[in-house]
Amino acid sequence: MSPGIWLARHAQNLLGALGAVSRNPLGTFLTVSVIGIALALPAALNVLVQTGKSAAGNWTDVRDFSIYLQPATPLARAEALARELRKRDGIDSVQLITADAAVAELGKDPVFANALAALESNPLPHTLVVRPAADMGSEQLGKLSTELQKTPDVDLVKLDLQWVQRLNAGLDFLARLGWIAAVLLGGAVLIIVGNTIRLDIQTRTEEIEVAKLLGATDTFVRRPFLYLGLWYGLFGGLVAVLILAVSLWLLGGPVENLASLYGSSLALEGLGLTTLGAVLGGGLLAGWCGAWLAVTRHLSGLRPKY
Amino acid sequence: MIRFENVSKRYDGGHEALSGVSIEVAAGELAFLTGRSGAGKSTVLKLVALIERPTRGQVIVGGRQLNKLAYREVPAYRQQIGMVFQDNRLLNDRSAYENVALPLIISGTGQREIGRRVRAALDQVGLLDREKYPPTALSAGEQQRLAIARAVVSRPAVLIADEPTGNLDPELSLEIMTLFRRLNEVGVTMLIASHDLPLVERFGSRRIVLSGGQVSSGETIDRPAGAAR
């Protein structure tokens, strides 16, 4: 077969399959919708995880940690410790909150004011609030905290890492969930397309048998159905993109609102090219594979007669 | 051109359709396969078409031993054989033209060449003015002629036909047989199964008579001139 004829044949099959898809609008709509929803779910989880990650990156202040000094430590010693810390690598800034300032701050609250008035002396220690550099990992942070804990006059190092660790663990969990969903729902798309193609095959068994009697190869018989599967996958992918775009648009306002309440400029991660490519590519791949499985199964059922 | 060497065919379930059949049809010959229903005529043709494989023995078509053909070689082989089926097996959701074009599309013929050859084949069977109609809009005789056009459009060297006049009245049957005769005259080797003895006898070609899965006689009457073994 010459390349020209080969190309023309593929083009005919491509358009022929599109025709077959458009002749049954309701059935196509249902199939394509189910594929779209199945593809949109893992993609949505992915968007959520990406957004969460950028949020974790935004909230650097949750990495701040406090060093409480022994109650009797003199102010000069606290100031010296703060200076010493500022010189270290991996520390952005150190803020000293003196015991007096802390009491004054606490005293603004009437509830605490009464309690404080009842006490003879200031129960609060001097506190150093340390902001680590952005590139410091949680492991290094942990090491720094144990080291500081051993420094003389330090009573307690209160590292607020847990919050970030929990968020990251949650995001890892979601990301893993996204992968599982992608695999399961990818399998579902495969089955949906396979079943739809199987029904298509059933309405064309006569044609397939005659073609095989006239000398058609399995490839020849398979080809139009593969294109059919590709169309289902493509349209399913487009439906998924549509679902995602509308959902993100609907969620955009509330998320911004939520973020501003937390004093953050967080915005939902948009549909990146990677997500777009994964959704459309996943749809096409699953469509093709589903069709291939359905036709190949049918053809092997026809053997050896046809 | 078609040779059966001591061929037996036992179907699943134990029915032996052919036992020790040896047949030879020379290149360019027109041979009839006759006998009562159940005598094994269809099985002989199915073995030639590779729809069935023999239990024992050799089937050789055009010098090729068919039981040596692998599954993936079958399509290329079938493209070289013209087949007319008992129930004609035309596709009713396609026009006459598209039905005849199917073998050429399968073999990867160019679009222009397809148009030329389909019209030539339709012209040969007298259906050129019916190319746009689906088979259902054609009479029984026309449908059978359409099936023949589809069988010869790719210019096969061998044509097999299973009861091609099975459900036609005598006049139409004669017309179809005359058509086969004409195609045979341009050199196509033919093996036609028919239980219509009076019709077959009118043609004076060789008759291979099957009875109970065996060849009971294979006399040659008036073999066409120039037909070589």
For chain A, list the domains and their CATH numbers: 3-58+165-302 (no CATH), 65-159 (3.30.70.3040)
Q: How far is B78 from B51, CA to CA, in rounded Å?
A: 10
Nearest CA in chain A to B52: A305
Residue B183, domain CATH: 3.40.50.300
Q: How confident is the model at residue A266 (pLDDT cuts 50, 70, 90)?
A: low
pLDDT at A268: 67
**Looking at residues A100-122, what average pLDDT do you find?**
79
Final residue in a domain of this structure, among B154, B189, B206: B154
Which helix H or strand E contains A55, and what residues bound it?
Answer: helix A25-58
Chains A–B, number of C-beta pairs less than 8 Å apart: 58
Q: Which two tokens stand for residue A253?
A: 């306002």
| Shared domain check, B147 and B163 | no
Q: Give the 3-state secondary structure of residue A24.
A: coil
| Shared domain check, B13 and B117 | no
The closest alpha carbon to B165, from B63, B85, B54, B70, belongs to B85
Q: How confident is the model at residue B227 (pLDDT cuts 50, 70, 90)?
A: very low
Range of B49's domain? 1-80+156-229
Res. A4: pLDDT tops 70: yes
In A, what residues contact B, Cβ < 8 A? Answer: 1-2, 4-6, 8-9, 206-207, 209-217, 220, 303-306
Contact across the interface for A214 and B77, Cβ inside 8 Å:
no
Res. A214: pLDDT tops 90: yes
pLDDT at B226: 41
- B48 vs A57, A143, B147, CA distance in Å? 74, 83, 18
Interface with chain B: mutation pick from A9, A214, A302, highest number of B CBs within 10 Å: A214
Count of Cβ atoms closer than 10 Å to residue A88 Cβ: 14
Interface with chain A: mutation pick from B45, B77, B78, B86, highest number of A CBs within 10 Å: B78
Of B49, B74, B108, the CB nearest to A5: B108
The single residue listed with the structure tokens 């050859």 is B117
| Shared domain check, B161 and B225 | yes
Interface with chain A: mutation pick from B66, B71, B74, B109, highest number of A CBs within 10 Å: B74
pLDDT at A218: 92
Amino acid at B54: P
pLDDT at B224: 44
**Looking at residues B137-151, what average pLDDT do you find?**
92
Res. B225: pLDDT tops 60: no
> How many domains are there within chain B?
2
Residues of A within 8 A of B84 (CB-CB) are none
* Predicted complex ipTM exceeds 0.85: yes
| Shared domain check, B171 and B146 | no
Res. B112: pLDDT tops 80: yes
Nearest CA in chain B to A305: B51
A74-106 pLDDT tens trace = 888 888 888 888 888 878 888 888 888 888 887
Query: Lowest-pLDDT range, A167-176, B55-64, B151-160?
Result: A167-176
| Three-state secondary structure of A162-199 | HHHHHHHHHHHHHHHHHHHHHHHHHHHHHHHHHHHHHH
Res. B110: pLDDT tops 70: yes
Of A9, A209, A213, the CB nearest to B78: A213
pLDDT at B228: 42
Nearest CA in chain B to A215: B75
pLDDT at A262: 67
| Shared domain check, B164 and B148 | no
Is-contact A244 A39, C-beta < 8 A? no
pLDDT at A3: 80
Nearest CA in chain A to B80: A215
A139-175 pLDDT tens trace = 777 788 888 888 888 888 877 666 767 777 888 888 8
